[in-house]
Amino acid sequence: MSVTEMFSNIQVFLCADQDIREDIRKVVQTLEQTAREILTVLQSVHQPSGFKEIPSKCLRARELFCIIRDHIGDLKTKFPVEQYYRFHEHWRFVLQRVTFLAAFVVYLESESLVTREEVAQILGIEVDREKGFHLDVEDYLAGVLIMASELSRLAVNSVTAGDYSRPLRISNFINELDSGFRLLNLKNDPLRKRYDGLKYDVKKIEEVVYDLSIRGLTKEQEAVTDK
């Protein structure tokens, strides 16, 4: 085979590769758009009035997740399924975002940590690599860490809105999360960097809890709940 032939073969390959990337980018853009919409819906829980509306907001977000499922279904058709990691970088960021959103919704609903299986189910994807388009464990963990910083914000705002018991529950939850992450042996990668931020979220929430307890605001709340 001549050198020219060799190179034109490779050129054909590279062009096909670029076309796939182009297609993926388009779908990922719409995915990001919907993710932003969900975020906007959920952001309103930080408003003083938003605390009463949490269930309805979550319902609205759940509806929007249907659109996300459609987008991801579309994305799956754009490339051969066994080449997931070849194009992983294109949707890695947005997948972490939507994982965060799913985790946040589940937390607001049930105050528990979403499992990887649940996220996969909400997004209409798989957990195992063998079964198709899946949720990488690192992306799941990154999404959970984004939620941690969102919760530290929520703790502050719930005090402003007069809900003194929520920060305590968030504090317990984040502490549990922190001890979970401590089990992991992280390499020096983006996930590790993000995990390093978790301690500031923990600190922030502890400060809120401290402020409440020295003013006796937590006891008052406990007394109310005990009755």
Partner 1 sequence: MNAKDGGSRKRKQDSAQSQKTEGHESDDISSCPLISAFKTFQLELDTKHDKYERLVKISRDITIESKRTIFLLHRVTSVPSTEELLTESEVKLDGVRQKIRQVAEELRGEDLYQFHRAFTLGIQEYVEAVSFQHFIKHRSLISLEEVNCRLVFLNGDKSEEKGIPSEKQGPQALTFQVTPTDYLLGVADLTGELMRMCISSVGNGDIDTPFQVGQFLRQIHDGFSYIGNTGPYEVSKKLHTLKQSLGKVEDACYTLRVRGSEMPKHMLADVFSSRAALLDPEDGVA
Burial class (CB in 10 A: 0-12, 13-18, 19+), 211: middle
Task: Rank residues 60 and 92 by Cβ distance to partner 1 and give the closer one.
Answer: 92
Instruction: Kindly list the distances between the CA atom of residue 24 and the CA atoms of 84, 119, 190, in Å, as whole numbers in the listed order.
Output: 12, 21, 23
**Cβ proximity of 64 and 37 under 8 Å:** yes
The H or E element spanning position 78 is none
Residue of 85, 93, 200, 210 that binds partner 1 (CB under 8 A) = 85
| Count of residues interacting with partner 1 (CB under 8 A) | 38
**Binding of residue 8 to partner 1 (CB under 8 A):** yes
Q: Which stretch binds partner 1 (CB under 8 A): 65-73, 103-111, 145-153, 184-192?
A: 184-192
Question: Is 26 among the residues that bind partner 1 (CB under 8 A)?
Answer: no
What is the residue whose two structure tokens read 């279904």?
A: 73
Cα-Cα-Cα-Cα dihedral sign, residues 217, 221, 222, 223: positive
Residue with smaller CB distance to partner 1, 6 or 224: 6
- Which residue among 25, 52, 88, 219 contacts partner 1 (CB under 8 A)? 88
Q: Tell me if 150 is assigned to a ligand binding site.
A: yes
Q: Tell me how far apart the alpha carbons of residues 221 and 142 are, in angstroms, rounded to a whole number.
A: 33
Interface ranges with partner 1 (CB under 8 A): 1-4, 6-11, 13-15, 18, 82-86, 88, 113, 115-116, 129, 137-138, 141, 176-177, 179-187
